[in-house]
Amino acid sequence: MIPVATAREMRAIDEETIRHHVPGLTLMERAGEGVRDEIVGHWDKKTGRRVVVVCGKGNNGGDGFVISRLLKRDGYQVRVHLVGKAGDVKGDALAMLKRCRNAGIGIKEVTLERLTALAEDLAAADVVVDALFGTGFEGEPEGIAANVITLINQTQASTIAVDIPSGVDATTGEAALAVSADVTVAMGLPKRGHLFFPGKALAGELVIADIGIPYEVVRRAGIKVFLLTRQDVKAALPQRPGDAHKWSCGHVVCVCGSTGLTGAAALSAHSALRAGAGLVTLAIPRSLNAIMEAKLTEVMTLPVDETPQGSFSLKALDTLRELAKRANCVVVGPGLSQHEETVGMVRALLPTLGCPCVLDADGINAFAGRADELRSAKGPLVITPHIGEASRLFGVDKAEIAPRLVEFAAEKARHLGAVLVLKGAPTVVAGPRGEVFINPTGNQGLATAGSGDVLTGIIAGLVAQGVPPLKAAFCGAFIHGVCGDLLLAEERYFGFLAGEIADAIPTAIWSVLSEME
């Protein structure tokens, strides 16, 4: 797994590396080489011969001076603009500025009066390198820097950002005004700001350059946030032996559905099968059973006692408890409704379940303002809220959750001793020991009714096959996103349906399993 750093963590890693392992000038040279390699790989001297490098006064600008020198040596036409005065450049960046000049590259100092010269060079450029601000930037660009960023964004040239697009907060991804890059080359490790919007959109394609930071330095930093990769998911997915049978592949019981909300029940049950569960039984209010038997050919159904409104009754408790004894995983929530008696049934059922449980949708809403009751869950618990459901569950305003998704998820998962899947863009999965996994897959097409029910079914299907709950949760999020990516490549538009997402699950899993090492 790839550690994901905050700005502070990355600064500490850089400082220890320079102090004990690799000189700062060497790191800067390697950073420049990483960006140079990316430019050469994307744009040869014929298609991208005119390169404009926009440098700041700090180490990010120092990287830009290295890039300029290397590209000129490779035969590119390079023009360098420094936002500030050369006399204000210090340390390693100053050393690289001097090497740049010694290579015969003129450096133009950008002032308000000279913005026109920069604009003219940008208009003629094939490639623009953004080396203005680095990961230490916070706040909003002001003055001439704001003008420069605006000019960069107006150019028709391809833009490549050094470490992070200038103006993006490397820890949060927040940006009031920032460079919109086609490619970002991150040095050493990805930063959280690369993965959370709007920073994710502004970064474009993310490339991670190995600049020689020792593994031990990263390990000692104690980072507990990781970017999921296909290799991580592939290693965690269940392997089905040749003599497998339906009982060996796990039994999922779904406690889902009510009048008007049968689709959620069907999607979660169907998705559990698509994810590889051997059997799925859907417990459903009695009056809805015939509908579900017709809709779900492969899923077994069990009609149970209901309220007059067509939701689960408290009288169904004993039946559900007995059914759950035969399950490897129980899904509680999709389409349940918030009927008072149904809410009471959910709160009474959860503490008695001995097997793992995936709690979603109205199963979560049943505990709104009562999150601590979830600590009484008898078996392992996976909770899958979006921000709105998390807000109701924990009694915290959404505005307090959104800027600190990672910290929030880690705190709540640790407090409850559960796995928390905080659905969004991106989805964040937190474990009971405070570890957090950020999912990189998926797209806007997953923002459709029933999409979350599909994710719940995938996670439950994996748990039923013996995948530990935390791994099942992050694998489920990753596969769910791959389904969306496959559909977008096929449909070329975002209007796909939750049922189509579910039907793409086997292909998505196979695409991960067949990934070359």
pLDDT tens digits for range 147-192: 999 999 999 999 999 999 999 999 999 999 999 999 999 999 999 9
Report which of 102, 93, 61, 60 is spatially closest to residue 80, judged by C-alpha positions: 61
Instruction: Give all strands of the β-sheet with 205-209 in edge-to-edge order.
Output: 107-110, 77-83, 50-55, 127-131, 158-162, 183-187, 205-209
Residue 48: pLDDT over 90: no
Average confidence (pLDDT) over 98-111: 97
pLDDT at 134: 95
Cα 57 to chain centroid distance, Å, stands at 32
- With bands split at pLDDT 50, 70 and 90, how would you rate the model's confidence at 75? very high
Average confidence (pLDDT) over 204-223: 97
CATH of domain 2-221: 3.40.50.10260
| Least confident stretch, 186-190, 270-274, 379-383, 513-517 | 513-517
Domain ranges of the chain: 2-221, 230-235+243-513
Considering the entire predicted model, what is its pTM? 0.96
Residue 92: pLDDT over 60: yes
Q: Name the residue with tokens 């129980």.
A: 330
Q: What is the DSSP letter of 378?
A: S
pLDDT at 8: 97
pLDDT tens digits for range 336-353: 999 999 999 999 999 999
H or E element in which residue 122 lies: helix 115-124
pLDDT tens digits for range 232-242: 999 999 999 99
Average confidence (pLDDT) over 94-120: 96
Can you point out the beta strands (E) in 411-484?
Answer: 419-422, 428-430, 436-438
pLDDT at 516: 58
Domain 230-235+243-513 has CATH 1.10.10.10: no
Residue 517: pLDDT over 60: no
pLDDT at 306: 98
Give the 3-state secondary structure of 252-288: EEEECCCCCCHHHHHHHHHHHHHCCCCEEEEEEEHHH
User: Mean pLDDT, the chain, as a whole number?
Assistant: 97
Residue 221, both tokens:
């930093």
